[in-house]
Amino acid sequence: MTPVNPNPAPTLPPTPSSTGSVAVGASADSTSLRAFPTASSTSTVTAAPTSTVPSPLLSNAKPFAAKPATSVARRDPFALVLERYHTLPRSGKWIAVAGTALAGWFILNSWLWPISDKLSNRADNMSAVLERASSRASDLPEAVADHALVLGPNSAPRLEAETKSKLSAAIDATLRKKDIRSYGLDMRPAQALPSSVLPDVAARIGGVMGRLTADLRFEATPEAATAVVAALDADPAVDAISDLRITYRRDTRRVSVQMTVEKWGVMRKSQRGGA
């Protein structure tokens, strides 16, 4: 149902003219057309000025106000905890503070402090080892220090059976890294060294020093062959390369390598004379 405007816009009277006209009266709410017939055969439509009389329905309307945009972001959990904490009574606040302090003490005592003690003990041990090594290095003769720098780190001798397995594994791993699958390896029985060679060290294990030798043969490209020789010379499982022969083959542009590697170890007294 359309509401009736109680204050319609005034309608202008027809204007005398030689031609027929139609006056149009408009209001704020609606537009009404009133035709005034004339004697002329032609007609002209004139738009009357719009009345500025406000409508009571529009005068009481309030301007539209946009609703504030609500934020969908999550609130800070710490802010929620603080807000919850402030709503507690005084006794509840004291209980919350005491519980938090007790939980923190259990975390420190169970996890953080043991880890800190372990790291501190490890650091103390490393510091003691470095100080002991520094004091020993300062007392070494210059010739011994120079040999250590040239030959690399030293290690205590091990049993001959253990050094034999490590030597074989080191040779096989080095050749496989260079994609050399076919090779010959002959492990000779360990031979006892003179009793003057490291007698104190061998006596602690219950034997004498012995020398284990292995004869190695393989073919490869010149680059791969030199890389294998360098890798075996730097391997801790090899004490020395006593013999090395490299022959170049023109037909295949490859080289054949024959080498003898040594590893020293402690032989049990029952193994003297052979292994």
Instruction: Please write the tens of the pLDDT for every residue from 45-54.
Output: 444 444 454 4
Answer whether residue 90 shows pLDDT above 60. Answer: yes
Q: How confident is the model at residue 58 (pLDDT cuts 50, 70, 90)?
A: very low
Is pTM beyond 0.75 here?
A: no
Yes or no: say if 92 and 84 are a contact pair by the CB < 8 Å rule.
no
Yes or no: say if 232 and 260 are a contact pair by the CB < 8 Å rule.
no
pLDDT higher at 267 or 65: 267
Instruction: Provide the 3-class DSSP secondary structure of residue 245.
Output: strand
Phi, psi of 17 (to 5 degrees): -155, 160
Measuring CA to CA, which residue among 204, 206, 219 is closest to residue 258? 219
pLDDT for the residue numbered 5: 54
Token couple for 1? 């149902």
Yes or no: say if 185 and 165 are a contact pair by the CB < 8 Å rule.
no
Span 1-20, mean pLDDT? 50
Span 91-108, mean pLDDT? 86
pLDDT higher at 162 or 213: 213
Residues sharing a CB contact under 8 Å with residue 23, sequence separation 6 or more, in sequence order: 11, 12, 13, 14, 15, 34, 36, 46, 48
